[in-house]
A and B are shown apart, each in its own frame.
Chain A
């Protein structure tokens, strides 16, 4: 049962206070929550958020934790506005600093990375699918891990790239990860990046940046993106059991 979640006591609902909101892209904002009971999460896990209307109606959605497990009582979520959605537009339009939001976690025992896990590590994300991967990269940095790692991040345009500055800094430090952006609707900004959708040839090149075949691959995004990326990774010769996916439902 080593893969099990935290203790049952971690899973109660708590009222988390929004203490800071930071716009990240035109459609994605970071929300920083202060928790009465700190979470002992692992990189890649998520929380469930529950909103309650005056008539008692509730809506519940999952959001990956962007912050690394850092022992503090603050977690960061990055929430993308889905125009026709019920919960994400509430966060974009209504939620404000000082509001209390019910959440519980940490949840999910499969899409998780521990610094002690075997490398190399290959991370592939699209849009807000970067969030759980960012938690892994942040923890890798915080514990000064030298596990070789690469991130391939797909976005529409350069202005849609989430946490671009932080990723660039992270890729340039000693022991930083290899970083490639794939922009589907704009020319690449750096010579080593791609101006097309993810494909098998691109994955083979990114895997080639690592000193050995990846021992763990994490892929997160919409279902269509995850399928394309997973097929490309398998085509590059990685075994299916090394590949973990998180699909944001759509």
Chain B
């Protein structure tokens, strides 16, 4: 339905083939989160890999920073309709985390967990083969608390709530178990190109 009197913002030379349906570009980095912004000091930071309830390996901040670092330039898309192009990230690929624990992806599904109790589910195949990382830097600088620092998951091809802020572990699960927002009406997978915003989309 055309809205009477609405023409939209004059469009510049936007590369529209990179902007999923219903999204618009922003030139700043908005902040959205469900609770207070946690303050996590490096000495208290831990990252744990689990298979089901069983911990496989835990890294301290220094140990984690000693893992191979990878840079990624990606477009990101938030379910609240903003998108940013060419965002610059640096961190540890999920592949390299698994390699450091000497394991192959053990199950088809993963829950990412965060210091604030947040969780989100992602199929394991969407995290491996270079698709996702635990990011420690944004635009060349340590990741700010507001954006999930010291470390957040980055799964850039899914809506950005899947890129859990303040991440402190990955847990491999047998079944696809809904995370925090997925239990609260948001889509179980969250592909921006298929506009999978809410459960019923």
Chain A residues at the B interface, C-beta cutoff of 8 Å: 1, 3-5, 8, 11, 15, 50-55, 57-62, 86, 90, 94-95, 99-102, 107-111, 223, 227, 230-231, 233-234, 240-241, 243-245, 247, 249-250
B81 part of interface (Cβ distance < 8 Å): yes
Q: Taking the complex as formed, is B108 at the interface, i.e. its CB lies under 8 A from any CB of chain A? A: no
Q: Does B54 have its Cβ within 8 Å of any Cβ on chain A?
A: no
Residue of A nearest to B145 (CB): A227
- Is B6 a contact of A53 with CB atoms below 8 Å? yes
**Given known A-B contacts A86-B24, A109-B183, A240-B38, A223 and B31 have beta carbons under 8 A apart:** yes
Give every chain A residue within 8 A of B82 (Cβ-Cβ): 249
Q: A-side binding surface: helix, strand, loop or mixed? A: mixed
Chain B interface extent, by class = 35 or more
- Interchain nearest-CB distance for B194 vs A (Å): 16
Whether A58 contacts B116 by the Cβ 8 Å rule is no
A contact residues around B35 at 8 Å (CB): 230, 240-241, 243-245
- Whether a CB of chain A sits under 8 angstroms from the CB of B32 is yes
B87 contacts chain A at the CB level, 8 A cutoff: no
Asked whether any CB of chain A lies closer than 8 Å to the CB of B199, the reply is yes
Is B141 interfacial (CB 8 A cutoff)?
Answer: no
CB-defined contacts of B184 to chain A, threshold 8 Å: 3-5, 108-110
Number of A-B contacts (CB under 8 A): 115
- Minimum distance in angstroms from B27 CB to a CB of chain A: 11
Q: How far is the CB of B146 from chain A (nearest CB, A)?
A: 7
List 16 A–B pairs whose Cβ atoms lie within 8 Å, in order of A's numbering.
Answer: A1-B183, A5-B184, A5-B199, A52-B3, A55-B8, A57-B11, A90-B3, A90-B6, A94-B4, A99-B3, A100-B1, A109-B183, A111-B34, A223-B32, A245-B34, A249-B80
Is there a chain A Cβ closer than 8 Å to B103's Cβ?
no
Q: Is the CB of A250 within 8 A of B2?
A: no
Separation of A216 and B31 alpha carbons in the complex (Å): 22
| Shortest Cβ gap from A131 to chain B (Å) | 16
Closest to A100 in B: B1
